[in-house]
Amino acid sequence: MSEMPQLYLVTPPEIDAGFPDRLAAVLEGADIACLRLDLATRDEDRLMRAADLCRDVAHRFDVPLVITDHAALVERLGLDGVHLTDPRPLRKLRDDWGSDPIIGAFCGTSRHDGMAAGEAGADYVAFGPAGPTVLGSGARADIDLFQWWSEMIEVPVVAQGALDLDTIAALAGATDFIALGEEIWTADDPMARLRELTAPLRG
């Protein structure tokens, strides 16, 4: 795989009224392949409001919008698909939905789970955290996993979690997508931060 990875954006866990403008600035300034609505809340009203805000901006720039885990909201809210943090419902969803909506699967650091998700009909598989982090179990999706996957498996792969400049540089030839979320939204200027982090992808 010699092509440079595409960019995949993840929303912050909390969305405020100013977020759509910040999002629009990033979508205008960068080529984004997909946007994921990834909120901390499970409150349906707040999810729906956030989805409406993000969908309007994403679709204005022709960027597909997927939501983390809330598969039941996809059709109701006019979203483009779902990102499953637990891939087990994937096969049934794919059977129910047919081939059209996007279904992505987060598979942690497990090659086996990734292959199972691919066989069940995932459009992409995400591994992570790909960068250095003290959160969670401390397990990390290492560069070898991405390299092996890209060589052996046709299903596109997303690198996510705790991505820093060095990790992104190392992953440049090994992954189809780089997912950035908190890495850019915590900055005063998310677009500037995005440019900084993706400098290695511009060679």
Average pLDDT (170-174) is 96
Sorted by where each begins, the domain ranges of the chain are 6-202
Q: Which of 152, 98, 96 is nearest to 123 (CA)?
A: 98
Q: Give the torsion through C-alpha atoms of 192, 194, 46, 61, to 10 deg.
A: 90
Looking at residue 70, its pLDDT comes to 96
91: left (phi over 0), alpha (psi -120 to 50) or beta: alpha
pLDDT band at 100 (very low <50, low <70, confident <90, very high): very high
Spatial contact of 91 and 121, defined as CB atoms under 8 Å apart: yes
Looking at residue 137, its pLDDT comes to 76
Whether domain 6-202 has CATH 3.20.20.70: the reply is yes
Spatial contact of 70 and 92, defined as CB atoms under 8 Å apart: no
Average pLDDT (85-100) is 96
CA 79 to chain centre: 15
Instruction: Give 14-41 pLDDT, tens digit per residue.
Output: 999 999 999 999 999 999 999 999 999 9
Round the average pLDDT of the chain to a whole number and report it: 96
Spatial separation of the C-alpha atoms in residues 91 and 97, rounded to whole Å: 10
